Amino acid sequence: MGKRKQIVNKNRAKKQKRAEETEDDPNSSPCTTPLNEDVLNIVAQFMRFKDLKNCRLVSTLWNTALTPELRRRAKITLVCNFSQQEMRRNADFLKEFQTWQGFTGCANFGSQCAGGRTVTDADSPPKPMVTKSTSIFAKKLQFHQIEATLRTNWEMDLLQKMLLNSTGVLQMFSFAIAAYPEQPISSAAVEFWSTHTFPKVTKVDVRMDGHRQWASSFFEHFLKAFPNVRRLSATLGGISALFCTPASVNAMRNITDLKVMLYSGPHTRGKSLQLISKFPGTLKKLSLTFIHISDQAIADNPDENDVSLLRNFLSQQSGSLERVQLLILKYDGTRDIEIPRFPELKRLQVYLMQTKCNFTFEQPDQPGVYGDIDYSYNFPKLQLFLARDLARSEGLSGDSFKSWFPLNTNDKKYICQTLKHFEFYESDTVDKLDSGKLEVDYFRLPKLFPNAGNTYMQGIKTCTRIESDRAMRQRNRWLMLASQ
């Protein structure tokens, strides 16, 4: 007890000494010395956006110091759709925007924006109220992101003014044409893309309903205006517009991320795939969405069809691809969909809807021969695999995904050792997982992907144990009845 009392007295003396030293020093405080504004400005650069918002509540000093960094990262979307409500909102923001210098501005522009008043060329020149509202877009602010949906010539002119005003900061540009008139577009609008560049833009999205007569000349130098673009997204008419001229195709050489939506109808069969097969670059990420795919021969080339063109395009890019997303909304045909070898692929997503087909895979040491999957050869670096049947189908043993998940779990070529994350969903998979009542067909998945330890696979393993216990109890019950 005496030794313990000595230690307590010693600690008490140390505390008293520190208290006396603090009282003698006018610059010290019993609490931690508060961080000054300069230090907080540096610390703010390493905070998450959510933490920045919370830390502003600490004190007035912290609020003052963190606000510049918060506003620099803030994303403000202004809508210019020529509606009365949005015009008033933009006018109110214009009064205060001086305090938001450096913010990440996003412009949703065009009469086709949600809730917008549809305008036509009859509104040109724009009414005074419209002109006053759009001045904030064309003259006052610089935007990091611009999403434009156009239908008139004067909207195109206004958009190009917005682009010029945001040349130094623009990073993403989404361009859609909806119900645009068929008459030739102005020569100034065509020349705009060949005379201006936007060096910071890395992502471009082009959408167009159908094909326009003026599209080839308008889009010929479109991508040249974005020399550093790395991610390109195009849908339907946007594909034919961008791939229509050699100059436009050559401007795609630096693109590494391609996202396209294709439609193969009776009159356009194979044309979209023929166009994207001209892609000159080396892709690391690819997202393909097919709205109706068929194995019927193409009119001008009976030896080709959608399936063969898809295989050829995937083979062309398979050596460099690290991420692939394949979505087939409808498949009319009986031919197998052939998948080449992907030596660098790490993430794979396959989604099917209204599609009943069989997949075959490139065979080792047999170029041009396709058969059963061999994960160690076809996908040697695969780490994530997401598969989903978007419509009600026959289940996991159906033709659509049977080739991906073979029944024979003893053959080593069917087992993927590198996979860390796996998910497969049908329309009722979530409910069955929650209730612990999955079909027996699912129980082979942990054997095919033994190193996948995500929540989905843990759920299947739990259901497997429940089913195994139930089967064991039933077996014991039958044995007991038989012995009686």
Give the chain's end-to-end CA distance (angstroms, integer): 73
Reported as a single tens digit per residue, the pLDDT across 356-412 is: 788 999 999 888 899 999 999 999 999 999 998 877 655 443 467 888 988 888 899
Q: Is the peptide bond before 125 cis (omega within 30 degrees of 0)?
A: yes
Look at domain 77-428 and name its CATH class.
Answer: alpha beta
Contact 294, 272 (CB under 8 A): no
Beta bridge partners of 108: 79, 147
Instruction: Decide: helix, strand or coil at residue 200.
Output: coil
Per-residue three-class SS string for 306-350: HHHHHHHHHHHHCCCCCEEEEEECCEECCCCEEECCCCCCCEEEE
Q: How many whole angstroms separate alpha carbon 361 and alpha carbon 376? A: 12
Per-residue three-class SS string for 177-195: ECCCCCCCCCHHHHHHHHH
pLDDT tens, per residue, the chain with 484 residues: 566 667 767 777 776 766 555 444 444 444 455 678 888 888 888 888 888 888 888 888 888 888 888 877 776 666 666 666 666 766 666 666 655 555 556 767 665 554 444 444 444 445 554 555 566 677 777 788 888 887 777 778 888 888 888 888 888 998 887 755 555 677 888 888 888 999 999 999 998 776 566 677 788 888 999 999 999 998 877 888 888 888 888 989 999 999 998 877 655 655 778 888 888 989 999 999 888 777 776 666 666 778 888 889 999 999 999 999 999 888 877 788 899 999 999 999 999 887 778 899 999 988 889 999 999 999 999 999 999 887 765 544 346 788 898 888 889 999 999 999 999 888 777 777 777 777 778 888 999 999 998 888 888 888 877 777 676 777 777 877 777 6
Contact 338, 372 (CB under 8 A): no
Looking at residue 201, the DSSP 8-state letter turns out to be: -
Residue 99, CA atoms < 13 Å, CB-side half-sphere: 6
Instruction: Decide: helix, strand or coil at residue 400.
Output: helix
Binning the chain into helix, strand and coil, the percentages to the nearest 5 are 40, 20, 40
Contact 72, 103 (CB under 8 A): yes
Q: Which among 138, 180, 133, 136 is positioned nearest to 157, based on CA atoms?
A: 138
pTM: 0.76
Domain boundaries, the chain: 21-73, 77-428
439: which residues sit within 8 A by CB, 6+ positions away? 395, 396, 432
93: which residues sit within 8 A by CB, 6+ positions away? 76, 78, 136
CA 124 to chain centre: 37
